[in-house]
Structure 1
Amino acid sequence: MEQFYNDYDRLLVSVDCIVFGFDEGELRVLMGKRKMDPGRGQWSLYGGFVGANESVNDAARRVLYALTGLKDLYMKQVGAYGDVDRDPGARVISISYYSMINVADYDQAQQQEHDVAWVNIEQLPEMYSDHRKMVLKARRMMQEKISHEPIGFNLLPELFTLSQLQQVYEAVNGEEVDKRNFRKRIKEMDFIEKTDQIDKLTSKRGAYLYRFNEKAYKEEPNFKL
């Protein structure tokens, strides 16, 4: 490849991936402690540098797959972080992304291999560089989007109870919702289907299980909670 920009500085570009999960009524973030300098031992997101022959989106998908072993994950770009002194190791510009997964789909072996943990977003520790800012901005984006797009289903198993669905919305938004109004609104949505199966594990009385019908949603794409 012919070089046209030899008179300009070379910068490193990385991606940092924020993986959200939902478990035991809590919104959690997958993170670990850095095993390299600078910042060794500090809580950090999982990331990597962008290769010369890949887009930033492809780099994020590669990093997410390496971390989770899961493909075709929901993924949205959060933003670019480029303060001159954000990384004491070098001049690094980072593009951050957030993703949402069902915790039960995440293999424990993968978690142990990468030595990462699910941390309650309400109890975030201090983190390396600007990683904490990335997480908080990603949550704000989720809060805005979950009110008019069905992204919350990415955090749930295929079959779920209405209580679980309500808990997801509460965990993402950080506040309780009115149960009666929430269920009334949900039952008006044709793309949330009631099945004839009963949850006997998490519900003592036995609650009906529901599923998200993506095809039906595409026919009724506009909704608001």
Structure 2
Amino acid sequence: MKLSGPLRDFQARLGHTFKAPALLIRAVTHSSMSSPHRDDNQRLEFLGDRVLGLVISEALLNADPNAAEGLLAPRFNALVRKEACADVARQIDLGAVLKLGRSEMLTGGRRKEALLADAMEAIIAAVYLDAGFDAARDRVLALWGDRITNVKDDARDPKTALQEFAQGNGHPPPKYTEVARSGPDHAPVFTIEVTIETGDSDRAEATSKRAAEQAAARALLARLQGETS
């Protein structure tokens, strides 16, 4: 099976030439393009998530042999969460080669954070199946690069951190509300408001609900922690 020009170019950006090109094609095929004769990347995503987790766990242990589990866990979560995977996907322009159905194309699927993150995990699995664990580890370490050594100890997901702050002060979890949506269907912008029981709230805009929720949580947490310091 021969790869198209864009997929051959993507191999160069990824740093891996596939012996079994069908694995790469499957890894970039979203479920909106699946058919009885075309597998999508969901099963690869499942596997890639586990391969990524093992590689990052090993890398963190090697980077800081004396770090306690309490420090390693938030570092790990920061490096494997959707935002980090999507950031790496954008770094190698994975969105440009995704095979998407018409509905996903029209709604800006190539830029969606969750879709990019899932596809990045599928790519990791494809490398693993094509050339083994060492090859997959080499690609992850190369692509994640300085993120591993520069990850901050206070690297918790902002939504998780805000929830812990609220519950630590005797309040129920924060509530997130979509208060506005603007822009064309293929490139929407969401405005999300986060509120805690005290009535304190903050808003943020982003091109995905998840990113807007994260930004709103980060802003509110920063303000609340500033007020209590």
* TM-score bracket relative to the smaller structure: under 0.3
Return the structure number with greater helix share. Answer: 2
Return the structure number with greater strand share. Answer: 1
TM-score by length of 1: 0.24
